[in-house]
Structure 1
Amino acid sequence: MYQGSNLLDPAERSARGEALHHEVTGLKPAKAVTPYDQSWRDFIFAEVWSREGLDRRARYLVAIAGAALSSGEDGHLYGYVHGALKSKILSVVEMREAALHLSVYGGWSRGGHVDAAITKAVKALKLVDEPCAPIRGEPWDQRARGDFGGNEFMKVMTFAGGGGETPYLEAIRNFVFGEMWNRRALDERSRRWLTLVGVCESCAETPIKSHIYAAMASGNCKPAEMQEFVLAYGIHAGWPKASVIQGAVFAMTRNFEMGLGWNG
């Protein structure tokens, strides 16, 4: 049952939707004159964003990733970024880190849209764009970086892997886990939500199931939160894609609660 299902009066629901739209984005919503506009106000903001199953920080991250990877209109992405920064729920440094992380799981082209939205919001809000830590500031031994990446993979995914000698598999071990996942500008739980949207958008069964399982097995995300994630994800991905993810969440929750691995 929707937590906002007690909003039986249409005027009350619309008022809540307008208020939440303004609260979430930090921008005054335009007048809703079409059914599409009204659905944003009356369903997405009034009913989904008012739910308590996910904290506001998690919802921002899922929404930012979803808006960026769905190739929707830029205004949706900008609204989420602007609201997250204005509310100080996410800092500029954390947002810059989120753009990097999403580039790995959604492609650098889409990550660039997030980075551009951050730059625009920083300017509009007159914030200081603090310098970010370099990807790596010191020399390293390539083998040592690979070993470190393998250990980080085990920590993040909760099972061994990250090996292989192809350029792609080396990049997973050396860059994705050897460098990006262990950067401290963004916490691991936040990285989970960005990753989940990215792998769900991939429509690739193994990444979807393994990352959903790892999100719970690592302790970063609770099973109930994963159910709420499906609804939040569906806003930008659409209900057909979300139905696939719902099935994966059911299956991986069962495996997790029975003490099985992601592949049973």
Structure 2
Amino acid sequence: MALLDPKERSDRGLALQAEVNGQPAQAPVSPVEESIRDFVYAEVWSRPGLDRRSRYLISIASAVMSAAPEAMIDGYVRGALRSGELTLAELREGALHLSVYGGWPRGLEWDAANSRAQQALGLKPADCPPIRAEAWDPVARGEKGQAEFTKTMTFPGGPSSNPFQEAINNFVFGEMWCRPGLDERARRWITLVGVANSAAEIPIKSHFHAGMASGNCTREEMLEFSLQYGVHAGWPRASLVNGVIMEMAKKVEAGLPWHG
């Protein structure tokens, strides 16, 4: 059996850490920092099963939701911009999307990181399309939201029978999910981080099922998600998500709904 070289792993981790964060990486001075270099970057970020753009989206959203140190969030945002994997406009949209699934305080944290990166890199402000520029018919807005819900979740949504359901139909799906500033696959990753952090069974199962049933993500990519997410949220939460992914993947492959 061939032996793996620890120096090679550490060198790879340090190089990937610098690449992902868009600036030179410092040598670790503690076991935690060493594990970040040798496992998080050398072994997780180097995996071929998920594209770099997706890893950035998952990592930024997961780091924000996990109250990560500002330097970690800033590193991901800066690296995403410098690498060209995400634009400032897309990152602004990402912060909006996380606001719905993680709460507006978390969305503001992501947005603050975007602003710091914009200033540090000397970038021009991103275009900021209004949530809605034109007058609207409330009925048409609700109908559009229900249609977007059906497309996104791959099953019909319920009627707006209370204020919360109205907000889902009118704003979440009627306005936010259909904004052109971020593609559906990108929105999917951010959503999955938010629902995974919620520990709420119905949102977790329905959204992970929809991610695969819609064709946005494959089973293999979802399993990579659980690893990338686990780096920030911890193994217990990621273990729950990993189990749901395997359960929902079987249902999608069999053409079954997420429930029942």
Give TM-score, length-normalised by structure 2. Answer: 0.98
Going from structure 1 to structure 2, the CA distance change for 1:200 and 1:127 (only over 3 Å counts) comes to same
Aligned-pair identity in percent equals 57
| Structure 1 residue 27 displacement after superposition | 1.8
The residue that corresponds to 1:201 in the other structure is: 197
Aligned mates of 1:59, 1:162 — CA distance in 2 = 33
Aligned mates of 2:27, 2:109 — CA distance in 1 = 26
Which stretch of structure 1 is more off in the superposition, 176-185 or 28-37?
A: 28-37
Aligned mates of 2:9, 2:124 — CA distance in 1 = 37
Aligned mates of 2:32, 2:140 — CA distance in 1 = 53
Indicate which of 195, 213, 217 corresponds to 2:213. Answer: 217
The residue that corresponds to 2:241 in the other structure is: 245
Show structure 1 runs of 4+ deviating over 6 A. Answer: none
Question: Where does the alignment leave 5 or more consecutive residues of structure 2 unmatched?
Answer: none
Question: Where does the alignment leave 5 or more consecutive residues of structure 1 unmatched?
Answer: 1-5
Q: How does 1:142-221 map to 2 (within 5 A)?
A: 142-221=138-217
The residue that corresponds to 1:8 in the other structure is: 4
Indicate which of 10, 17, 22 corresponds to 1:21. Answer: 17
The residue identity in structure 2 corresponding to 1:40 is I
The residue identity in structure 1 corresponding to 2:194 is G
Aligned mates of 1:198, 1:8 — CA distance in 2 = 37
Going from structure 1 to structure 2, the CA distance change for 1:7 and 1:217 (only over 3 Å counts) comes to farther
Q: How does 1:5-84 map to 2 (within 5 A)?
A: 8-84=4-80
Question: Superposition RMSD on alpha carbons, in Å?
Answer: 1.0
The residue that corresponds to 1:90 in the other structure is: 86
The residue identity in structure 1 corresponding to 2:208 is I
Aligned length: 259
The residue identity in structure 1 corresponding to 2:83 is S
Give TM-score, length-normalised by structure 1. Answer: 0.96
Going from structure 1 to structure 2, the CA distance change for 1:187 and 1:162 (only over 3 Å counts) comes to farther
Going from structure 1 to structure 2, the CA distance change for 1:145 and 1:21 (only over 3 Å counts) comes to same
Q: Deviations over 1:192-234 (max 9, x none)?
A: 0000000000000000000000000101001110111110110
Aligned mates of 1:205, 1:177 — CA distance in 2 = 21
Aligned mates of 1:260, 1:162 — CA distance in 2 = 19
| Structure 1 residue 34 displacement after superposition | 0.6
Aligned mates of 1:87, 1:7 — CA distance in 2 = 33
SS, match of residue 196 in structure 1: helix
| Structure 1 residue 163 displacement after superposition | 2.4
Aligned mates of 1:86, 1:117 — CA distance in 2 = 14
Aligned mates of 2:136, 2:39 — CA distance in 1 = 51
- 1:114 paired to 2:110: yes
